[in-house]
Structure 1
Amino acid sequence: MAQLSLPKQLANFTSSTTGLDLGLRLLHALTLIGTGIELDSATIMRCSVAAEQIGLGRRYLRFFDFLGCFQNVQDILATGNSMRTRKQILDMAESSALGMYLVLEGTTMLHDMNIYSVSWYTPVLLEAYKFWFYAICIAIARTMLDLLLEPVTSVYHNSSGDANEKKGGKSGNPSPSEPVPSTVSLLNQLVIDSLNLTIPGSLLGWIPVSDMGVAIAMLITTILVWPAVWGKTQK
């Protein structure tokens, strides 16, 4: 197959929801970093407004992603096996937690859009962040168990680090012909999930990380995920 031109590759990347969200995530991280740098007050204000609007825009993209999460759970339950494998159990737990996060976050959308303010905004959003935190913890546990207990070869492994990356994924046992993640890809995913854990962790006050630290973690994980997402969008 002929090598696609860079403009064509970029078009493929931005035409996919995952690629578009990842691009916005990069801008989001950079604007958050901009708010913490010693700049003039006007620039800091612009970065703050940009970060808020980009964050809201990313929420539009993942508004219905909870459907994919709950579909993953249904697909696993529909297999009919009375005994679930470790991977199936962890996948169901992760998808359930991530789905609950997305549902609860979605209920606060009108408040964030300044359309309909509600008194329960903060407690509901905090509960959403808890489910997000739990989902990433489950993903980390699964990756660690894969590293310790299973033979590995090579393929990219997805996780809860960013909600959009879970959309449409299928859970369950891999087919005999489907390769399992390599040690390098699992370690890479472990780093990504561990850094992503600081986002909900800091919002909940469970992980003592500064806003700048969270922004840098977001930037690093975006860069680490970028090659895999870029490659997928070119297929």
Structure 2
Amino acid sequence: MPTLAKQLSNFTNSLPGLEKTLRLFQAIAQICAVLVVNTVYASRWGTIRSQLALGRRYLRLFKFLECFERAYAVLDQGYRAASTAQYDRADFAMTTMEVGKWSMLGMYFLLENFTILDAMGVWKTTWSLDVLIEAHKLWFYALCLSLISGLWSLFASAVEQVEKRKKRRKNRGAACEEKKKREVEYEKGIHLSDHEHEHEHKRGVSTGESDYDSDSSSISDSDFHSDNEKSDHEKKVKMEEKDRDLSNIDVHDVHNIPETIPTTTTTSLAAASAAAYASILTHLVVDSCDLLIPASVVGWTNAGQLTIGVTMLLTTVLTSRDVWAKVNKPS
């Protein structure tokens, strides 16, 4: 297990981790710029925020290539899956939303790059603000598609859980039916064996024979009773075989039929489902909070700088956990 310093080093030395770190500092600087009363210090915090935002833009200079590549990969995967029988309208809708989301994000990063010289103060233009506003509109649309996709996945996950519970109840009912069936067969076999024994005993009493005088009678009249002895011997052999078959039915086996799915399998499936459910909820919260940023730039909402700073801080912490776990994953 690496130390905390080593994990922090792995996080900040990775490109996603460095971007999240700068975003965290930017959110803190924005909050301080609003809360500080002194105008001089507020201006300094505002400058820090602007420089950190510009630094983050350097890191995502070619981010649009990755977004377009993901859009193409999703489209290609959907095209290949469309020829299978399992591909339905729900899969088509999910593919369309994913392609639209990554395409719009790619266009956002690409348009943002056209205004980077203006942000650096190298080449001031009159159209950079308009291009930046249109870029933030695309970011807003991409976040909306991501929200719809997340809600769709959440609904599909809930439906899948309901189906799994129904299947478990069905398996439990089938196990109970099998248990009752084996119990009935066991009781029926015992009753049938007792009935045959009683029938043979009554037959011996009615003919005046017993287990002890059958040998003496066969010695005196061997020729007369040879056929009867052979028949009696065959019946006894059959009765012994039936008793052995009944003895093979263990009472403990009858009463110990499993009624549920094994605990390990159920636990692992529940843990995986809970992790997927938590991941979807986290992304929904992050996308909902991030909507304030492009909406405020475009002018569609009156969210203040303090609100945007707090939401940026929250989403940065939530999304950094996955990056932290990924870069510090043991090899």
Query: TM-score under structure 2 normalisation?
Result: 0.60
Q: Distance in 2 between matches of 1:23 and 1:88?
A: 32
Q: CA deviation at 1:57?
A: 0.1
Amino acid paired to 2:119: D
Choose from 203, 210, 233 the match for 2:297.
Answer: 203
Give, in angstroms, the shift of residue 82 of structure 1: 7.4
Cα drift, residue 108 of structure 1:
0.2
The 1:221/1:46 distance shift into structure 2, 3 A limit, reads: same
Gaps of 5+ in 2: 83-90, 162-271
CA distance in 1, matches of 2:38, 2:74: 53
What is the aligned counterpart of 1:14 among 1, 12, 15?
12
| Consecutive aligned runs of 4 or more in structure 1 exceeding 6 Å deviation | none
Cα offset for 1:150? Answer: 3.0
What letter matches 1:20 in structure 2?
L
CA contact (8 A) 2:68 2:106 kept: yes
- Among 74, 77, 84, the alignment partner of 2:75 is 77
Task: Name 2:51's counterpart in structure 1.
Answer: 53
Partner of 1:95: 102
Q: 47-56 or 116-125, which moves further after superposition?
A: 116-125
Deviation by residue 1:168-209 (Cα, 9 ceiling, x = unmatched): xxxxxxxxxxx7762222112111110011000111111221
For residues 32 and 40 of structure 2, the distance between their equivalents in structure 1, rounded to whole angstroms, comes to 11
Structure 1 partner of 2:233:
none
Are residues 1:220 and 2:314 paired? yes
Q: 1:14-53: CA deviations, max 9, x gaps?
A: 1111100000010000000011114312211110100000
Q: Which of 228, 231, 234 is matched with 2:325 structurally?
A: 231
Larger radius of gyration: 2
The 1:93/1:118 distance shift into structure 2, 3 A limit, reads same
The percentage of counterpart residues that share the same residue type is 35
Residue 117 in 1 paired to residue 211 in 2?
Answer: no
SS of the equivalent of 2:80 reads coil
Q: State the shift of 1:120 in Å.
A: 0.7
How far is 1:222 from its partner?
1.1
Alignment match, 1:137: 144
Cα distance per residue 1:132-165 (max 9 Å; x no partner): 0011111111000111123579xxxxxxxxxxxx
Give the counterpart letter for 1:136 in structure 2: L
Could you say which residue in structure 1 is the equivalent of 2:23?
Answer: 25
Q: Which amino acid aligns with 2:304?
A: S
Q: Which residue of 2 aligns with 1:67?
A: 65
Where structure 1 has 5 or more consecutive residues not aligned to the other structure, the ranges are: 154-178
From the superposition, tell whether residues 75 and 182 of structure 1 become closer, same or farther in structure 2 (CA, over 3 Å): closer
Contact preservation (8 Å) 2:157, 2:277: no
The answer to whether the 8 Å contact 2:286/2:315 transfers is: yes
Deviation digits for residues 101-128 of structure 1 (CA, Å, limit 9, x no counterpart):
0000000001111111111111101000
Asked if 1:194 is matched to 2:288, the reply is yes
State the distance in 1 between where 2:283 and 2:303 align.
Answer: 21
Instruction: Give the counterpart letter for 1:66 in structure 2.
Output: F
Do the aligned residues in 1 keep the contact of 2:75 with 2:95 (CA within 8 Å)?
Answer: no
Q: CA 1:76 to 1:223, structure 2 compared with 1: closer, same or farther past 3 Å?
A: closer
Moved more, 82-91 or 184-193: 82-91
How much is the aligned-residue C-alpha RMSD, in angstroms? 1.8
**Distance (whole Å) between structure 2 residues aligned to residue 132 and residue 76 of structure 1:** 19
Query: In structure 1, what is the Cα distance between the partners aligned to 2:74 and 2:47?
Result: 42
Residue 34 of structure 1 corresponds to: 32
Counterpart of 2:256 in structure 1 is none
Distance in structure 2 (CA, Å) of the matches to 1:216 and 1:46: 19
Greater alpha carbon shift after TM alignment, 15-24 vs 70-79: 70-79
* Cα distance in structure 2, aligned partners of 1:207 and 1:232: 35
Amino acid at match of 1:200: P
Q: Does 1:185 align with 2:184?
A: no
